[in-house]
């Protein structure tokens, strides 16, 4: 990875720098091999393309419409099929966003509920001796329609939409797992009723969302100044799966961007997502709600989209609070192959925690089970050990990223994070993907 960063820096120095951007017009294609890496999901390979229509260039760096299509796979057995459309001009005065995605997750991560209350064992966070202790299957079909508009000429607007979810869950599927000794945290939770039998195989939900947006950013995808606030409620009446899982939640995101020089921007984000009423099924806990998708699969808390450097979806509860702070330094701008390019780095600090627990009383059922689940360095771990009885605490991480940005919209990121507490993940968290996380 160090070699990759060095090549990028030398490349930037070798190209003729230009402060003046080319105004883009018409269609602009960004076909790329989907080559990446995630320390949680493994090597990423496939194809993707971003298609931008800039029209006569009068709205550049905004676009008339954008499409993104991806078909890709991860070396740990997961797959992504995704199509996205976004435009402020198809319907005058209304922004339309639509998404259809399928995520096949044969070896999804599952570490239990309520953060510090769930034991994490780094040595067992892999397939070991035919056992995938922290693995489960979670296949997701998602289709989204979002509409947004303005209140007059002000910076305030409205947002409303609907999402259909079809989630199928179960025991992890991998040729390295041996059924005779493959016991997982998911299995323990089903056995002791932390995950009710009615939810154990997933379900379907039609989710509705409505709220307000305040936005003074100079550019949505690569802002240098301004404020963005999203506040909305969302929920689902359980009339499809009928698991008694109707729920109503609230989400608030506050983002602030402050220029500290010609090419340095301080970016800050505070997010809250919490239960107002009802009962959320366990398989919907990790979904991080946003008005505009920055990542194809926004999930957490933990890893790529929220607290970078922690393991994927480490923290799950009824309500979350988290924040991200980073300095974005655009250290090179240049033109190449008739496109506007920029290279940026972003040292960051993230933190988050569960502020309202989920099924904590049911987790106490584990304390009665002294069955040996796994052995680490000669020490036997029983089912009871996986409820630590510890109070939740603040989880923190820090790191740095490199971003290669084309026409201020298409952004390839290389981010590296390290959590402060080994109970949130060991080693260096690595992600190669798209876009800033906020």
Q: For residues 115-128, give the mean pLDDT.
A: 93
- Taking 50 as the threshold, does the pLDDT of residue 11 lie above it? no
| pLDDT for the residue 138 | 96
Q: Which band of pLDDT confidence, cut at 50, 70 and 90, is reported for residue 7?
A: very low
d(CA 331, CA 335): 14
How does pLDDT run across 398-414, given as a tens digit for each residue?
Answer: 999 999 999 999 899 99
Q: Which band of pLDDT confidence, cut at 50, 70 and 90, is reported for residue 426?
A: confident
| pLDDT for the residue 15 | 44
| pLDDT for the residue 36 | 67
How does pLDDT run across 237-287, given as a tens digit for each residue?
Answer: 988 888 889 999 999 999 999 999 999 999 999 999 999 999 999 999 999
Q: Average per-residue pLDDT in the chain?
A: 91
- Taking 90 as the threshold, does the pLDDT of residue 366 lie above it? yes
For the ranges 44-53, 136-145, 148-157, the lowest mean pLDDT is seen at: 44-53
- Taking 60 as the threshold, does the pLDDT of residue 9 lie above it? no
| pLDDT for the residue 205 | 95
Per domain, the residue ranges of the chain are 2-434
- The domain defined by 2-434 carries CATH number 2.40.160.50: yes
Percent of the chain scoring above 90 in pLDDT:
76
How does pLDDT run across 194-234, given as a tens digit for each residue?
Answer: 999 999 999 999 999 999 999 999 999 999 999 999 999 99
How does pLDDT run across 26-55, given as a tens digit for each residue?
Answer: 998 876 776 667 777 778 789 888 899 999
Q: Which band of pLDDT confidence, cut at 50, 70 and 90, is reported for residue 20?
A: low
| pLDDT for the residue 160 | 98
How does pLDDT run across 82-101, given as a tens digit for each residue?
Answer: 999 999 999 999 999 999 99
User: What's the pTM?
Assistant: 0.90
Q: For residues 126-146, give the mean pLDDT.
A: 94
| pLDDT for the residue 6 | 43
How does pLDDT run across 287-323, given as a tens digit for each residue?
Answer: 999 998 888 889 989 988 999 999 999 999 999 999 9
Q: Which band of pLDDT confidence, cut at 50, 70 and 90, is reported for residue 121?
A: very high
């Amino acid at each position: 990875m160090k070699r990759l960063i060095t090549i990028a820096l030398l490349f930037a120095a070798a190209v003729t720098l230009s402060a003046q951007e080319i105004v883009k017009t018409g269609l602009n294609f960004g076909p790329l091999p989907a080559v990446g890496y995630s320390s949680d999901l493994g090597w990423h390979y496939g194809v993707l393309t971003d298609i931008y229509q800039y029209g006569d260039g009068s709205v550049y760096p905004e676009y008339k419409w954008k499409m993104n299509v991806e078909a890709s796979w991860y070396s740990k057995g997961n797959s992504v099929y995704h199509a996205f459309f976004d435009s402020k001009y198809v319907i005058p005065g209304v922004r339309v966003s639509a998404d259809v995605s399928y995520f096949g997750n044969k070896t999804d991560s599952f570490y239990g509920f309520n953060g510090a209350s769930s034991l994490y064992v780094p040595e067992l966070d892999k397939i070991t001796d035919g056992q995938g202790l922290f693995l489960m299957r979670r296949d997701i079909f998602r289709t989204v329609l979002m509409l947004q508009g303005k209140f007059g000429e002000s910076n305030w607007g409205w947002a409303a939409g609907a999402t259909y979810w079809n989630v199928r869950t179960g025991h992890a599927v991998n040729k390295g797992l041996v059924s005779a000794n493959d016991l997982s945290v998911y299995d323990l939770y089903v056995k002791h009723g932390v995950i009710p039998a009615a939810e154990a195989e997933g379900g379907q939900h039609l989710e509705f969302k409505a709220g307000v947006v305040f936005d003074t950013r100079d550019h949505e995808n690569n802002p240098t100044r301004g404020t963005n606030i999203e506040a909305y409620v969302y929920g689902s009446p359980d009339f499809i799966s009928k698991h008694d899982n109707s729920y109503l939640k609230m989400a608030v995101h506050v983002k602030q961007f402050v220029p500290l020089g010609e090419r340095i921007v301080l970016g800050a984000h505070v997010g809250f997502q919490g239960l107002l009423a009802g009962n959320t099924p366990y398989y919907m806990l990790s979904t991080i709600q946003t008005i505009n998708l920055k990542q194809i699969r926004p999930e957490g808390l933990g890893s790529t989209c929220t607290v970078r450097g922690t393991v994927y979806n480490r923290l799950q509860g009824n309500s979350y609070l988290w924040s991200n702070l980073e300095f974005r330094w655009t250290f090179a701008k240049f033109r190449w192959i008739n496109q506007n390019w920029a290279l940026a780095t972003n040292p960051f600090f993230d933190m988050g925690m569960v502020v309202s627990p989920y099924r904590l009383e049911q987790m106490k059922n584990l304390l009665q089970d002294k069955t040996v689940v796994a052995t680490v360095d000669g020490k036997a771990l029983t089912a009871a050990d996986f409820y630590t009885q510890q109070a939740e605490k603040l989880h923190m991480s820090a790191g740095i990223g490199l971003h290669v940005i084309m026409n201020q919209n298409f952004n390839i990121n290389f981010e590296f994070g390290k959590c402060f507490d080994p109970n949130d993940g060991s080693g260096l968290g690595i992600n190669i993907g798209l876009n800033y996380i906020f």
